[in-house]
Structure 1
Amino acid sequence: MGRDLELRTATPEDLDWIHELRHRVYARELGQHPPDPAGRLRDGLDGDNVYLVAARGPARIGFVSLTPPWVGRFGLDKYLTRDELPVLAGHDVFEVRILTVEPRWRTTSAAPLLMYAALRWIASRGGRRVVAMGRTEVLDMYRAVGLRTVGRTVRSGAVTFEVLTGGVPELTRRARERYGSALERLRSAVDWRLDMPFAPRPDGCEHGGASFTALGTDFRTLHRRRDIVMADVLDAWFPPAPGVRAALADDPAWAARTSPPSGAEGLSEQIATARELPPDTLAVGAGSSDLIFRAFGRRLTPRSRVLLTDPCYGEYAHVTERVVGCRVDRFPLRREDGWRIDPERLAAAVHSGRYDLVVVVNPNNPTGRHAPAAGLRALIGAAPDRTHWWIDEAYLGYVGLDESLAGLAATDPRVTVCTSLSKMYALSGLRAAYAVAEPSTAAELRRWTPPWTVGLPAQMAAVAALRDPGYYRDRWLATHALRRRLAADLAEAAPDVSVEESVANFLSLTLPPGGPSAARLVEECRRHGVYLRDLSPLSPRYEGRTVRVAVRDTAENARIVAACRAALDVLRPAPAAPVAQSLGAAGTAR
Structure 2
Amino acid sequence: MGRDLVQLRAATPEDHDWIHELRHRVYAQELGQHPPDPSGRLRDGLDGDNVCLVAARGTARIGFVSLTPPWLGRYALDKYLTRDELPLLTEGDPFEVRILTVEPHRRSTSAAALLMYAALRWIAARGGRQVVAMGRTELLDMYRAVGLRPAGRTVHSGALTFEVLTGSVAELTKVATDRYRTTLERLRSTVDWRLDVPFAPRPDGCEHGGASFTAIGTDFRSLHRRHEVVAADVLDAWFPPAPGVRAALVDDPAWAARTSPPTDAEGLLAEIAMARGLPPDTLAVGAGSSDLIFRAFGQWLTPESRVLLMDPGYGEYAHVTERVIGCRVDRFRLRREDGWRIDPDRLSAAVASGRYDLVVVVNPNNPTGRHAPAAELRSLIAAAPARTRWWIDEAYLGYVGLAESLAELAVVDPRVVVCTSLSKMYALSGMRAAYLVAEPATAARIRRWTPPWPVSLPAQLAAVAALRAPVYYSDCWLRTHELRRQLSADLGGLDGEALVEEAVANFLTVTLPTGGPSAAELVRECRRHDVYVRDLSPLSPRYEGRTVRIAVRDTAENARIVAAFGAALDALRPRRASLATPAAATPAAATPAAVTPAAGSAR
Does TM, scored on the shorter chain, surpass 0.5?
yes
Q: TM-score if structure 2 supplies the norm length? A: 0.96
Spell out, residue by residue over 1:138-168, the C-alpha distance to the aligned partner (whole angstroms, 9 max, x if none): 3333221100011211111111111000011
Shift of 1:106: 1.3
TM-score, with length taken from structure 1 = 0.98
Check whether the contact 1:38–1:587 (CA below 8 A) recurs between aligned residues. no
Matched letter for residue 273 of structure 1: M
Question: Partners of 2:174 and 2:26 in 1: how far apart?
Answer: 32
Alpha-carbon distance in structure 2 between the residues aligned to 1:269 and 1:558: 41
Q: What corresponds to 2:26 in structure 1? A: 25
1:538 matched to which residue of 2?
539
- Separation in structure 2 between the aligned mates of residue 96 and residue 406 of structure 1, nearest angstrom: 46
Q: Secondary structure at the match of 2:161?
A: strand
Three-state SS of the structure 1 residue aligned to 2:482 is: helix
Whether the aligned pair in 1 keeps the contact of 2:67 and 2:119 (CA below 8 Å) is yes
Deviation at 1:92, TM superposition (A): 2.3
Cα deviation digits, residues 201-253 of structure 1 (max 9, x gap): 10000011111111111000111111110000000000000000000010111
Residue of structure 1 equivalent to 2:316: 315
**What's the secondary structure of 1:152's corresponding residue?**
strand
Say if 1:349 and 1:451 are closer, same or farther in 2 by CA, change over 3 A: same
1:38–1:586 contact (8 Å) kept in structure 2: no
- 8 Å contact 1:363–1:504 — kept in the other structure? yes
- Percentage of identical aligned residues: 78
- Conserved? CA contact 1:3–1:188, under 8 Å: no
**Contact 1:3–1:191 at 8 Å: present in 2 too?**
no
SS in structure 2 at match of 1:336: helix
Cα distance change of structure 1 residues 84 and 21 upon mapping to structure 2, 3 Å threshold: same
Residues of 2 paired with 1:150 and 1:574: CA distance? 38
In the aligned structure 1, how far is the partner of 2:356 from the partner of 2:161?
A: 40
The structure showing larger relative contact order (alpha-carbon pairs under 8 Å, at least 6 residues apart) is 2
Matched-pair contact (CA < 8 Å) for 1:69–1:91 = no
- 1:285 — aligned with what? 286
Aligned length: 589
Residue number in structure 2 paired with 1:259:
260
- The separation in 2 between residues aligned to 1:278 and 1:2, in whole angstroms, is 69
Structure 1 residue 480: deviation in Å? 0.2
Secondary structure at the aligned position of 2:521 is classed as helix
2:12 paired residue number = 11
CA-to-aligned-CA distance 1:232-283 (integer Å, 9 cap, x gap) = 0000000000000000010111111111111111000000000000000000
Q: Look up the match of 2:52.
A: 51
Q: CA deviation at 1:575?
A: 3.9
* CA–CA separation in structure 2 for the residues paired with 1:56 and 1:157: 32
1:228-377 maps to which residues of 2 (within 5 A)? 228-377=229-378
Which stretch has the larger CA shift, 476-485 or 101-110?
Answer: 101-110
Distance in 2, matches of 1:86 and 1:301, equals 27
SS of 2:133's partner is strand
Gap change, CA 1:105 and 1:242, over 3 Å in 2: same
Map of 1:119 onto structure 2: 120
Secondary structure in structure 1 of the residue aligned to 2:179: helix
Q: Secondary structure at the match of 2:189?
A: helix
- Matched ranges for 1:564-583 at <5 A: 564-572=565-573, 573=575, 575=577
Residue equivalent to 2:415: 414
- Per the alignment, residue 601 of structure 2 pairs with none
Partner of 1:427: 428
- What is the match of residue 150 of structure 1? 151
1:70 is matched with which residue?
71
* Cα contact 2:44–2:585 (8 A) shared by 1: no
Match of 2:600 in 1: none
Q: What is the CA-CA distance between 1:112 and the residue it aligns to?
A: 1.4
d(CA) in 2 for partners of 1:309, 1:27:
45
Query: What CA RMSD, in Å, does the superposition of the two structures yield over aligned residues?
Result: 1.4
Task: Write the distance in 1 (CA, Å) between the matches of 2:356 and 2:520.
Answer: 34
Q: CA deviation at 1:36?
A: 1.0
> Match of 2:442, as an amino acid?
T
Offset, 1:387: 0.4
Unpaired segments ≥5 residues, structure 2: 592-603
Match of 1:410, SS?
helix
Displacement of 1:579 = 8.7
Say which SS state the counterpart of residue 46 (structure 2) adopts: coil
Q: Deviations over 1:517-576 (max 9, x none)?
A: 000000100001100000001010001000000000000000000111110111123545
Give the whole-Å Cα distance in 2 for the aligned partners of 1:172 and 1:580: 31
Quick one: distance in 1 between partners of 2:91 and 2:185? 32
Cα pair 1:2 1:189 within 8 Å, conserved: no
Q: Give the Cα separation in 2 of the matches to 1:62 and 1:36.
A: 21
Rate the CA distance shift 1:549–1:578 in 2: closer, same or farther, 3 A: closer
Partner residue in 1 for 2:439: 438
For 1:276 and 1:579, the matched residues in 2 are separated by: 61
CA contact (8 A) 1:267 1:463 kept: yes
Cα deviation, residue 18, structure 1: 0.6
Displacement after TM superposition at 1:181 (Å): 1.2
How far 1:493 moved relative to its partner?
1.5
